[in-house]
Chain A
Amino acid sequence: GAVVSQHPSRVICKSGTSVKIECRSLDFQATTMFWYRQFPKQSLMLMATSNEGSKATYEQGVEKDKFLINHASLTLSTLTVTSAHPEDSSFYICSASRRATEAFFGQGTRLTVV
């Protein structure tokens, strides 16, 4: 099967610092990766779509300068939350897809900003 690994699973950081979350497709090349965010008792909401080698496409209301996405290779995408604040505390999860197939999800990252 297709395996997507996300790291770290949990992170606590101080307000004002930056946090990087990694998403790797372990056994396939992911042409597209997606980043989602889930607040308590809410749906998972798409934040951005990234294609390897090009700039990410952000959903309305998501600040591209705050949530930096890099998809430098076909197996790795990173999400950096810059100058994190307590309101950025959330569950972040990535998914990866290869051409013409379903998307596969990572394990998610619980971010707590204190």
Chain B
Amino acid sequence: KQEVTQIPAALSVPEGENLVLNCSFTDSAIYNLQWFRQDPGKGLTSLLLIQSSQREQTSGRLNASLDKSSGRSTLYIAASQPGDSATYLCAVSDSGYALNFGKGTSLLVTP
């Protein structure tokens, strides 16, 4: 069974810092990997989707990389802002598009 682990579980940084969130998964036979943002009590906002054949995706200040062979992905956030404070979830899918989620990294960016 696919296991997804996210490190760290929580992170607090001052505004302006660049930061990296880590995700690892046990079964490298994935279809794609997604990073989501979840605000307290809210649904999920998709940030980046990386297909299994891709190495990275970028959107604005966000960059996600995928190393399928080693079972790792990183989400890089440049020049962090207080509005980036949220829980970031990593999820991998098999061909059925059902997702296996990590527990998330809770990010706090302080002014």
Contacts and interface: CB of A to CB of B under 8 A. Distances in A.
Interface string B1-24: 000100000000000000000000
A44 B101 contact: yes
B43 A103 contact: no
A95 B44 CA distance: 10
Interface in A51-110: 91, 93, 95, 97, 102-108, 110
A46 B99 contact: yes
B98 A46 contact: yes
Interface residues of B, number: 22
Contacts of B100: 46
A104 B96 contact: no
A25 interface: no
B104 to A, nearest CB: 7
Interface residues of A, number: 23
Contacts of B96: 32, 49
A102 B44 contact: no
A93 B43 contact: yes
Given A42-B103, A43-B102, A43-B103, A103 B97 contact: yes
Interface of A: 6, 32, 34, 36, 41-46, 49, 91, 93, 95, 97, 102-108, 110
